Amino acid sequence: MQTELAALTLLFLCSAVTSYVSTGIVRKAADQAGLVDRPDDHRKHHLNATPRLGGLAIIFGFGFPLLLLAGNSHAAELVAKNISYLFAMLASGSLIVGLGVYDDIVGANAPKKFLIQTAAAVILVSFGFKFTFISIAGHVFELGIVGSLASVIWIVGVINAVNFIDGIDMLATVVSITIAISFAAVAIIRQDIFSLVIMTALAGSLLGFFPWNRSPARIFMGDSGSLFIGLILAACSLARPIKSPTAFVIGGPMLALALPVIDTVFVMSHRFRTGVTFGERVRQMFNADRRHIHHILVARFGSTFKALLSIWVVTLFFGAAAVMTTHETSKYYGYTIGIIGFIALILLRYWHRPTQPISDADVAGSDVA
């Protein structure tokens, strides 16, 4: 046990240091290449031109220490046991990283994004990252093709939910670290070594990126970072190295993702209702606006810190719920905490909303998805 703990600690520290150093290098290179978000953009009102592509440093901080860890005999045994999972993550992750970099440099429209995201999701599902069955009142029901379809929708949804939450300095970083730690705790309870290793590397990489991304951000993670993080979290929320009946969507680590997912559902449903014809409503769903919870809270509180703190606290509730529902003796307490988190999210979003429309100037220093 001490050997495993030491290896995980080393992985976490190595990921953090690698990410921190890589971010400095990427920031300088992006600045010199002119790959920056300028403050005169009508949707981004940070005060200074800020480099993007920070996601490349997060990805390197995540992947490079894992390659080094593979040199360990115990780690090599883990790779052999989960080779299909690792191959699926490599293949789907390559697509998502390519999409993110392309979007950060050139820009990609919604159809292109969803096409690549769906392809990445199909790869994951075909290698076992999917809902296979549910258990209700002691009865197990196989989901078949329905489970595969639901899994693709879930993965694409989570990818975009994490992308959308990247709206103010360090928000996506803090929320993703919290979710990753929750996933790691769930993995410990389930004795899921694969997910534990992946989440340790991701949490360490995000921690190394955090000093560069804290307000006022010196670099943005961009789509290259947020899309990749969303893919990894979505994949590990569906990983089932130990088969056990789980409740559809609301079980286990999926609760930790509740805040970005629920916020995305609210925003998409609101956009859908603004159109007249069905075609207009669908197109409206993918038009960027300022209806996400971080935009609402910044406008209400007049402070990005208060908005960030509020969202983080709710994320903690959902993270605790995810961990507690994994254990049989505490699952009902977990669902109770999850309900409290949901009520808090609803109150934050809809209680005493600003009477004036949320303007671009309400979110200074933001990296809007």
Q: Is the pLDDT of residue 356 over 60?
A: no
43: in domain:
no
Give the N- to C-terminal CA distance of the chain in Å, as an integer: 42
137 backbone φψ class: left, alpha, beta (φ>0; ψ -120 to 50):
left
Q: Is the pLDDT of residue 325 over 80?
A: yes
Token pair listed for 209: 């990126």
- How many structural domains are present in the chain? 1
Contacts of 36 (CB under 8 A, 6+ apart): 30, 49, 50, 51, 52
Of the candidates 104, 139, 15, 25, the residue with the CA atom closest to the CA atom of residue 65: 15
pLDDT of residue 132: 81
Which of 166-170, 208-212, 267-271, 290-294 has the highest mean predicted lDDT (pLDDT)? 208-212
For the segment 19-41, what is each residue's pLDDT rounded down to a tens digit?
999 999 999 999 998 888 776 54
Q: Is the pLDDT of residue 248 over 60?
A: no
Tell me how far CA of residue 31 lies from CA of 169, 209, 219, 226, in angstroms: 18, 17, 9, 20
267: in domain:
yes
44: in domain:
no
Contacts of 332 (CB under 8 A, 6+ apart): none
6: in domain:
yes
CB 210 within 8 A of CB 177: yes
For the segment 41-62, what is each residue's pLDDT rounded down to a tens digit?
444 545 577 898 999 999 999 9
181: in domain:
yes
Average pLDDT, the chain: 85
- Report the 10 Å Cβ neighbour count for 358: 18
Which residue in this structure is represented by tokens 């609210």? 266
Task: Give, as one character, the DSSP assignment of residue 359.
Answer: P
355: in domain:
yes
CB 365 within 8 A of CB 46: yes
96: in domain:
yes
For the segment 134-159, what is each residue's pLDDT rounded down to a tens digit?
766 566 677 889 889 999 999 999 99
262: containing domain? 2-38+52-362
As a whole-number percent, the residues of the chain with pLDDT over 90 amount to: 53
46: in domain:
no
Q: Is the pLDDT of residue 365 over 60?
A: no
Better-scored residue on pLDDT, 45 or 205 = 205
